[in-house]
Structure 1
């Protein structure tokens, strides 16, 4: 029996036509201002790069189902994070190198070209992987031409979990970081350097950190520069949950400090998580006009608590976030371009004094800016109420903790997340509430939390702010947000 050609199940024209026909979204669970697809499974954002005022956004996509299989790349572009081109299939498994998936990677500009660097995944009949790192070039027809393989397999001393290249620059030289697993099943990050003389990529070794046994795999590394500080972002898998941290299945965080590429040592502070919610993973950061802009995957590997699978699609990307580094701590804030989504005539001001309860009705997609002056209140609870269903965000001043509880929802993932959040007399919260996604920014982005909610019935949410003692002031504003547009 003749074997089927690799990639023959991918008919790009048919798939792209089906995407166009699926827009605008009609499913009540589809979000208004988060990137997602009308069908299939999406996950890691990839290949983020800006060229000539256009931001290119690639992301992993299985257009053939809602399982973690058939890893391909979708592609869209935007100038303003409000208007996007209709996403298209750009790259899919097509040869012996990537027959088992086009895994994660990065983007860069070379001359007039947008290029990508990604991990090819191929397995033999025994399930043994051969991961190869390969460049590609975005063509005028929207496909990625697959070019040279620069690292043909995993390095000696490391398993086949060897992936997610991210290119960075130092003193005019090109380097990349790779997520890896040592043969003793501990995670690490490796560095490679491009030799300008012959174009070959040479290993520099591991980045040495204080975390020698910190999970069994480090995925999705990003190496960022904030002034004179280096920040290594990565996703360690296999950490044990502890009070106030590591409470999701897998983590995503960073080490901030100074990296010497001569000694390959990163002098750094403690590992800090980028997001304290239930559904955040595999972020990628790119630099544009002096800003570090992050997109993340709103999902979690190996979790099965997403009811939209029944509807033929699953997962979203976060809104773009701008990262800043202050005293060794990353602050995350929504990109300023997103203010264009505010429907100004919908604005409702919050202004209450000496009160124990404030209520505000939210639209199908909404933003709420809230500032609370505690006064006598020792605990404050913000509730997103969907009829009888609810998610609560409870702040305890004495414990200096924020607790997010979504056990009050009937569908989708449940659970509780508690983390430290230091305040004095005031609490600042910025909420973006989409149909099934909430992105919360606390204390001007000092902490963030991303999570899904799947109300059983179509009910517009209400924001309720309550306290056991009188709050001195509750001020702010609520807007309805428009949907992002595809053209």
Structure 2
């Protein structure tokens, strides 16, 4: 460990201690989501199931609630309920990363964890250099930096980052989010026999070709993996214009379905589909665990989208992760489900109701609370609208084939919405956590994610229908996630 590395770690831990009391006073501090101990959290990094534990690294700015020269924070768990705060994984201590250890991924090789990330460098005039870097860990906690293994190929601007690495047919591959010289989003492909010497193989998607040829000016956080018989590419494009109900956030995250040809180093794919229809979802990353599940975390926010207006800023912290989700293919549609381990958050038995509403809005006995899980099933709505209002600050509405999530804006208090077309509403699984809501529609056919900020005393949840609607409700109170001892 270099002197600079040691100094940066000490400063980060001092910041955690300095603001611990302030952070913990925030009434909007979440119960069961991953949050930073102080400062700003953004992209999930290095998500991997390794030696019986799930490791989740994350972009972290410990000194302020704004962006800057990022560290990698680190938590781990066996069950997605009890999390251990691990030592800081990476600090921007070396020349090739002095302006930030940007996003990346992890892979197991020869019993070790190989971590790939982007080293960001800027000169005094703001000119950028970018390096794809390697670090190796033998214990999953301490990382030995090996430095850059990939430099910028010709044809791209220095906006070239977020390496995701995987192994297929005895070969290693890396995809990197990129911007071409003519300002088109692209995914660059590399291959390697040994994880240290990498060969550039060209654009895999975008870059002025194929269905994504003119699809924004930058692709971030690419992730290519097989799911069933298909190969999925997840990307976070920047520069898309709103299109009806689509692309309503500043930047988007979504996927295309296709087939990756490792021999031809090519990827034939279809059209882009958004992963999450809500307000706050970006930079998702997946891994496969020992059960063969494809699991995903994402950042519950969007860059450049009123970040400093969140009320948590005055408490010296900002942003959190989504819940972990399992991905499944149903035809050509990607479904997302909360991982089954989250049932371990439930406190006691379910409170159950069978309800029929007739032109009314009402509360259901015991169905309230600031950290709860709701399962609404067997929804029968012939005509009119059906709604669930949460803490007088968010509202779910289904009407005439349109599903809507509304919230009161934390910027100016106006009501804003996100929507999608939905042929039929059968079921809802809703996770509410003090200042976040995640809505899984029809078993994960669509998902809506949002931060929202109700009055501190507000606990009510109401159900309403304009005509007649019947459904069943199960409700659980949810406990706080378990924390291990914080690193110091």
TM-score where L is the length of structure 2? 0.91
Q: CA–CA distance in 1 between the matches of 2:18 and 2:190?
A: 38
Task: Answer yes or no: is 1:286 the counterpart of 2:287.
Answer: yes
Q: CA deviation at 1:459?
A: 2.0
Offset at residue 112 of structure 1 (A): 2.5
Change (3 A) 1:112 1:376: closer
Cα distance change, pair 17–44 in 1 and its aligned pair in 2 (3 A): closer
Can you list the C-alpha shifts for 1:292-324, whole angstroms capped at 9, x where unaligned? 110000111012231211110000001100000
- Partners of 1:180 and 1:189 within 8 A in 2: yes
Taking the aligned partners of 2:277 and 2:12, their CA distance within structure 1 comes to: 40
289, 294, 297: which one aligns with 2:299: 297
1-structure distance, mates of 2:481, 2:22? 11
Instruction: Check whether the contact 1:411–1:454 (CA below 8 A) recurs between aligned residues.
Output: no
1:303-314 equivalences in 2 (<5 Å): 303-304=305-306, 305-314=309-318
| Residue aligning to 1:393 | 396
Out of 467, 470, 474, the residue aligned to residue 468 of structure 2 is: 470
Task: Please name the residue that 1:436 is paired with.
Answer: 435
Looking at structure 2, the residues matched to 151 and 414 of structure 1 have their Cα atoms a distance apart, in angstroms, of: 46
Residue in 2 aligned with 1:364? 370
State the Cα distance separating 1:267 from its structure 2 match.
2.3
Superposition pairs of residues 324-363 of structure 1, within 5 angstroms:
324-345=328-349, 347-353=350-356, 355-356=358-359, 357-360=361-364, 361-363=367-369
What is the CA–CA distance in structure 2 between the aligned matches of 1:20 and 1:83, rounded to whole Å? Answer: 23
SS at match of 2:212: coil
- For the 8 Å contact 1:432–1:439, the answer to whether it is kept is yes
- 1:72-83 superposed matches below 5 A: 72-83=71-82
Query: Which residue matches 1:193?
Result: 191
2: CA distance, partners of 1:405 / 1:144: 43
**2:237 is equivalent to residue 232 of structure 1:** no
Q: Which residue of 1 aligns with 2:320?
A: 316
- Counterparts of 1:330 and 1:336, CA distance in 2: 18
**Structure 1 residue 284: Cα displacement:** 0.6
Deviation at 1:413, TM superposition (A): 8.7
Q: 1:479 aligns to what? A: 476
Q: Which residue of 2 aligns with 1:18?
A: 17
On the 8 A contact 2:38/2:316 being kept in 1, the answer is yes
Runs of 5+ unmatched residues, structure 2: none
| 1:169 match | 167
Structure 1 residues 408, 164: CA separation in 2 closer, same or farther (over 3 Å shift)?
Answer: closer
CA distance in 1, matches of 2:414, 2:129: 34
Q: Which moved more, 1:79-88 or 1:115-124?
A: 79-88
Q: Can you list the C-alpha shifts for 1:410-439, whole angstroms capped at 9, x where unaligned?
A: 77796221211221xx43111100011101
- Give the whole-Å Cα distance in 2 for the aligned partners of 1:172 and 1:183: 33
Question: In the aligned structure 2, how far is the partner of 1:274 from the partner of 1:38?
Answer: 28
Structure 1's unaligned 5+ residue stretches are none
Preserved contact between residue 40 and residue 312 of structure 1 (Cα < 8 Å)? yes
Match of 1:205 in 2: 202
Distance 1:414 1:144, change over 3 A: farther
In structure 1, how many angstroms separate the alpha carbons of the residues matched to 2:315 and 2:375?
Answer: 33
Q: Taking structure 1 as reference, are residues 376 and 175 closer, same or farther at Cα in structure 2, changes over 3 Å only?
A: closer
3-state SS, counterpart of residue 312 of structure 2:
helix
Counterpart-to-counterpart distance in 1, 2:144 and 2:138:
7
> What RMSD in Å do the two structures reach over aligned CA positions?
2.4
Deviation of residue 6 (structure 1)? 8.1
Deviation at 1:141, TM superposition (A): 9.2
Displacement of 1:352 in angstroms is 1.4
Shift of 1:191: 0.6
* Aligned residue runs from structure 1 range 75-114, under 5 A: 75-114=74-113
**Distance in 1 between residues matched to 2:41 and 2:414, nearest whole Å:** 18
Displacement of 1:326? 1.2
For residue 199 of structure 1, report the CA deviation from its aligned partner: 4.6
Partner of 2:131: 132
1:417 equivalent in alignment to 2:418: yes
SS of the residue corresponding to residue 426 of structure 2 reads: strand
CA distance in 2, matches of 1:485, 1:317: 16
Report if the CA contact (8 A) 2:345-2:478 is conserved: yes
CA contact (8 A) 2:112 2:139 kept: no
Q: Using the alignment, how far apart are the partners of 1:259 and 1:355 within structure 2?
A: 52
Query: 1:141-160 to 2 correspondence within 5 Å?
Result: 142-152=141-151, 154-160=152-158
Correspondence 1:373-392 to 2 at 5 A: 373-386=379-392, 390-392=393-395
Indicate if the aligned counterparts of 1:55 and 1:77 stay in contact, CA closer than 8 A: yes
Corresponding pairs, count: 472
Cα deviation per residue 1:338-380 (whole Å; 9 max; x = unaligned)? Answer: 00101124x2112113544452432221000012533443221
CA gap 1:24/1:143 in 2 versus in 1, 3 angstroms: farther
